[in-house]
Chains A and B, each alone.
Chain A
Amino acid sequence: MSKLNSKTPKGDIEKRWDKHLFELSLIAPQNRAKYNIIVIGTGLAGASLCATLGESGYNVHSFCFNDSPRRAHSIAAQGGINASKNYQNDGDSTQRLFYDTMKGGDFRARESNVYRLAQLSGNIIDQAVSQGVPFAREYSGYLANRSFGGAQVSRTFYARGQTGQQLLLGAYSAMSKEVASGKVKHHSRSEMLEVILVDGKARGIVVRDLITGEITAHTADCVVMCTGGYSNAFYLSTNAKGCNTSATWRAHKKGAFYANPSFTQIHPTCIPPTGENQSKLTLMSESLRNDGRIWAPKKIEDCSKDPRDIAEEDRDYFLERMYPAFANLVPRDVASRAVKSICDEGRGIGTEIHGEKLGVYLDFSSIIERIGEDKVRAKYGNLFDMYERISGENPYQLPMKIYPAPHYTMGGLWVDYNLMTTIEGLFAAGEANYSEHGANRLGASALMQGLADGYFIAPRTVANYLAKSKLEPVDTNHPDVVKAMDDVKERINKLMNAPEPKNSPDYYHKKVGRILWGACGMSRERESLKAAIEEIKALQIDFWQHVKVTGSDQDMNQTLERAGRVADFIELGHLMCRDALEREESCGCHARLEHLESDGEAKRDDENFAYVAAWEYAQDGAILNKEQLDFEFVKPSVRDYT
């Protein structure tokens, strides 16, 4: 018997969310000030949730590790946000966005949640516009749209290449309004290091003040985690350097199930690494694939040539060749695997690292020829400038070099339809939960999901939980609070005082990253996953024996912060590999070499693997729980983008 109850409503899918909204309990406006809610993380999900809860009258206590909520990594999202407004009259609808998202995720998401997301997509745009988000507009004054990978309609709203920034600043300003009103008490430079459970319910968190090192406990009626994804487990990713899994991993170890941890998105268009000391990778927005053409030399001997000297007939526009219908706009996982296969054939270009050239061209010469450099600049100027700053090459003259990189994690804390984890009173929103993207997220859907959770879903479901629960106040002397504080202090003590300090936290981070990239990256295979699991186990022992943290824990200490996060990445990395090993099929991002069609397409196994793998923490190895996915409204089909 599964321990998982998704609490999904029954009946017509179109009416499920409305019906559920009616059934959720309310708290009257005059009573809301009696409740305290902790929100961790202030990206799109967190900031929008803080704003909405504050406006409603609840007392919100928010925390982020950055120096300001405005720094959260949502800010770096470039391309856009989807909404099924059908402003372009090209046949879009809630049903179509729902179907595209289900199909894009290779039928590994929950229908009810995905339909709700599609339904709410339009409200998000309305909300953002009312906040002053300066979306792109037509000369008529109406909102502009563009198309994005995995879709045949133009439903993506955008603000040049900085859509995430503008949406986050919108949510941040709305949150700031509530900080001013006193309803939101915000704590910057504060890292959550433990969840406090009292009688099995999430009632608070333990936080380290990153400036003074002080450890404090904060109690409340419930806790919402909006702490983002874990792509940084790979060390090199497009995530901000601070992004980490620590909050979700602490929750996991306290009883929150981790769902589909091996579902990680490798984004096809990133700037390739150039050397050993690189600290992060930079994404080039997927929107570039609308006008850029991806190619590699047909002949290996051409790979070191100046691309401009390679004749048209010697270029292989491989996405156009392999997928004529979607061409350069195939979903991310499909594009990434195609790029990898070209480079595996030895047809990669760019800097050689460890004997491999990992890169292909993204070429704008034909669009520049067609519409002129100025129009291309107006569309993509900031992205081109960014590329030039990083690579030192001018993309108006030379094609961009790109290679896939970890970018987003579909996996995360398992949540029910109310976004509640398997710990009562602990919710997860945005990228932190596993949610609606199944085994692969479509472009411009992350912003949509973060904001749907934060503005429209969590505020209602959190209120319902509070209305239905009888919660006694918990004070900070409660034995469970004291115990959680002691655990945090003991862990910090261990990090500061390894028996034989030798290697920096980054040393271990790079090691675990390389293991994961090799075994749990764009392609996975039984034996290498098994080997990776053993390597990570050994690395974990090595880490706690030899990690070297200098400085003091009573002071600002970024080395200590990193050490704690790396320790959690190592444990999560182990679970990622186990999850990938257990899933004996290919679906979306998860390409198991044993389960591919002869042409390299993913071979899904709906009979045996149409489930969400929800891992329960146990000291001697995580236990797999399965949430069976029912498809009542979409028929899982072979994802064919040719």
Chain B
Amino acid sequence: MNFTLHIWRQKNAQTKGDFHTYQVDDIDSDTSFLEMLDQLNEQLIGKGEDCVVFDYDCREGICGACSLVINGHPHGEKKATTTCQLYMREYANQTELWVEPFRAASFPIIKDVLTNRDAFDRIIQAGGYISTNTGSAPDANSQLVNKADADAAFDSATCIGCGACVAVCPNASASLFVSAKIAHLDRLPQGKVESDTRAQNMVRQMELEGFGSCSNHRHCESVCPQEISIDDITRMNRLL
């Protein structure tokens, strides 16, 4: 398989970026999208050029490090999939690929297609936890949790913090990310105790970071690699 890549190159946050065009040939269909970029970078090293910088780590869809907007879609078009889990067989009919960073004012570009998502850490620091200290916990089975609640809590807790929800949102809202943590903890008896203050503090932090508010476009749940539902946003709003 051969591809023409238009990749966003930007030296740093202060300079303007633009698309650069590269050609990669003889790509095997079982090659992952990021492995295809690896091969491009090997070519660039061969030519003595600076490599394209992009975030990745686990390459199995769970760490949330990878990002990229591919042909207009955060994490590409495939549903419930992170960029690192895209394989080139998905692109048999698209030989021209546009690769951009997640774009949002609260995710400033560091270099090329790699962005700064520290704002998410600061939102968790604002209240995305249960205030328990090590050593103070009672026996794990001393508090029962209804199975349906535990399963639903898991569905929210599965968020990988990638930021695709922000990248796709016309308001660059972080509501899905924020509400997933709030809903996860609110569904468990251990977490419910602090639900109201947690929701207020996390939403306040979201606003301070410059993320927009939710206006029900629902794009976030359609691009979320973990398929987190906007029901969580409803739950969050009820707590405010």
A residues in contact (CB < 8 Å) with B: 48, 51-52, 55, 66-73, 75-76, 85, 87, 122-123, 125-143, 159-160, 162, 165-166, 169, 172-174, 176-177, 179-180, 186, 188, 211, 238, 240-242, 274-275, 277-280, 282-283, 385-386, 389-390, 392, 455-456, 459, 504, 506, 548-552, 555-559
In whole Å, how far is A406's beta carbon from the nearest beta carbon of chain B?
15
**CB <8 Å contact, B59 and A392:** no
Encode B113-127 as 1/0 by CB contact (under 8 A) with A: 010111011001110
Question: Knowing A129-B140, A134-B157, A141-B147 touch, does A386 contact B61 (C-beta < 8 A)?
Answer: yes
In whole Å, how far is B102's beta carbon from the nearest beta carbon of chain A?
12
Within 8 A of A (CB), among B165-219: 184-185, 188, 190-191
Most A CB contacts (10 A, CB to CB) among B35, B49, B85, B150 go to B150
Known: A134-B150, A137-B146. 15 other contacts (CB 8 A): A67-B55, A75-B62, A85-B140, A85-B141, A131-B132, A134-B188, A160-B154, A169-B157, A241-B58, A275-B31, A279-B59, A506-B38, A556-B53, A557-B53, A559-B41
In whole Å, how far is A256's beta carbon from the nearest beta carbon of chain B?
26
Identify the closest chain A residue to B51 (Cβ): A559
Task: For A130, give its contact among B31, B63, B130 (CB under 8 Å).
Answer: B130
List, in ascending order, chain B residues with CB within 8 A of A459's CB: 134
Identify the closest chain A residue to B48 (Cβ): A550
**CB <8 Å contact, A162 and B190:** no
In whole Å, how far is A497's beta carbon from the nearest beta carbon of chain B?
13
List, in ascending order, chain B residues with CB within 8 A of A169's CB: 157
In whole Å, how far is A206's beta carbon from the nearest beta carbon of chain B?
22
Question: Knowing A138-B147, A240-B63, A455-B134 touch, does A173 contact B38 (C-beta < 8 A)?
Answer: no
List, in ascending order, chain A residues with CB within 8 A of B132's CB: 127, 130-131, 174
Question: Knowing A85-B140, A162-B158, A177-B125 touch, does A277 contact B63 (C-beta < 8 A)?
Answer: no
B101 beta carbon closer than 8 Å to chain A: no
Task: For B145, give its contact among A73, A141, A174, A186 (CB under 8 Å).
Answer: A141
Task: For B85, give its contact among A135, A188, A386, A555 (CB under 8 Å).
Answer: A386
**CB <8 Å contact, A134 and B144:** no
Question: Knowing A278-B35, A279-B59 touch, does A550 contact B87 (C-beta < 8 A)?
Answer: no
Give bound CA distance, A428 to B45, whole Å.
Answer: 36
List, in ascending order, chain B residues with CB within 8 A of A134's CB: 150-151, 153-154, 157, 184, 188
List, in ascending order, chain B residues with CB within 8 A of A280's CB: 59-60
Identify the closest chain A residue to B138 (Cβ): A126
B18 beta carbon closer than 8 Å to chain A: no
Give bound CA distance, A75 to B133, whole Å.
Answer: 21
List, in ascending order, chain A residues with CB within 8 A of B98's CB: none
In whole Å, how far is B87's beta carbon from the nearest beta carbon of chain A?
7
List, in ascending order, chain B residues with CB within 8 A of A165's CB: 62, 158, 160
B residues in contact (CB < 8 Å) with A: 11-12, 28, 30-32, 34-35, 38-39, 41-42, 44-46, 48-51, 53, 55-65, 80-81, 85, 87, 89, 110-111, 114, 116-118, 120-121, 124-126, 128-141, 143-147, 150-151, 153-154, 157-158, 160-161, 184-185, 188, 190-191
Q: Can you spell out 16 A-B residue pairs with CB atoms less than 8 angstroms apart?
A: A66-B63, A67-B116, A76-B58, A76-B62, A126-B139, A134-B153, A134-B154, A137-B145, A173-B128, A188-B118, A240-B59, A274-B28, A275-B30, A279-B34, A283-B60, A456-B134
Give bound CA distance, A424 to B87, whole Å.
Answer: 48
Identify the closest chain A residue to B81 (Cβ): A389
**CB <8 Å contact, B120 and A548:** no
**CB <8 Å contact, A179 and B125:** yes
In whole Å, how far is A273's beta carbon from the nearest beta carbon of chain B?
9
**CB <8 Å contact, A551 and B137:** no
Give bound CA distance, A566 to B114, whole Å.
Answer: 23
List, in ascending order, chain A residues with CB within 8 A of B151's CB: 134, 137
**CB <8 Å contact, B89 and A558:** no
Question: Knowing A127-B134, A173-B124 touch, does A392 contact B42 (C-beta < 8 A)?
Answer: no
Question: Knowing A71-B64, A132-B191 touch, does A180 contact B57 (C-beta < 8 A)?
Answer: no
List, in ascending order, chain B residues with CB within 8 A of A166's CB: 154, 157
**CB <8 Å contact, A176 and B31:** no
Identify the closest chain A residue to B186 (Cβ): A132
Identify the closest chain A residue to B115 (Cβ): A67
Task: For A67, give its contact among B39, B80, B117, B185 (CB under 8 Å).
Answer: B117
Give bound CA distance, A486 to B128, whole Å.
Answer: 41
**CB <8 Å contact, A559 and B134:** no
Give bound CA distance, A137 to B28, whole Å.
Answer: 43
In whole Å, how far is A69's beta carbon from the nearest beta carbon of chain B?
8
The 8 closest A-B pairs by CB, nearest first: A141-B144, A130-B137, A173-B129, A551-B50, A126-B137, A134-B154, A129-B140, A180-B125
Give bound CA distance, A390 to B82, whole Å.
Answer: 12
List, in ascending order, chain B residues with CB within 8 A of A552's CB: 50
Question: Knowing A129-B190, A550-B50 touch, does A67 contact B111 (C-beta < 8 A)?
Answer: no
Give bound CA distance, A137 to B154, whole Å.
Answer: 11
Identify the closest chain B residue to A271 (Cβ): B60
List, in ascending order, chain A residues with CB within 8 A of B64's CB: 70-71
Give bound CA distance, A548 to B191, whole Å.
Answer: 51
Task: For A277, give its contact among B38, B59, B184 (CB under 8 Å).
Answer: B38
Identify the closest chain B residue to A455 (Cβ): B134
Question: Knowing A134-B150, A275-B30, A548-B45 touch, does A143 contact B140 (C-beta < 8 A)?
Answer: yes
In whole Å, how far is A561's beta carbon from the nearest beta carbon of chain B?
10
Give bound CA distance, A413 to B159, whole Å.
Answer: 33
List, in ascending order, chain B residues with CB within 8 A of A550's CB: 44-45, 48-51
In whole Å, how far is B106's beta carbon from the nearest beta carbon of chain A?
14
**CB <8 Å contact, A389 and B128:** no
List, in ascending order, chain B residues with CB within 8 A of A52's CB: 133-134
Most B CB contacts (10 A, CB to CB) among A72, A140, A240 go to A240
Give bound CA distance, A459 to B110, whole Å.
Answer: 36
List, in ascending order, chain B residues with CB within 8 A of A556's CB: 53, 110-111, 114
Identify the closest chain B residue to A278 (Cβ): B35
Task: For B129, give its contact among A73, A139, A174, A277 (CB under 8 Å).
Answer: A174
List, in ascending order, chain B residues with CB within 8 A of A48's CB: 134
Most A CB contacts (10 A, CB to CB) among B35, B114, B140, B141 go to B140
**CB <8 Å contact, A277 and B28:** yes
**CB <8 Å contact, B60 and A141:** no
**CB <8 Å contact, A70 and B85:** no
Give bound CA distance, A141 to B32, whole Å.
Answer: 41
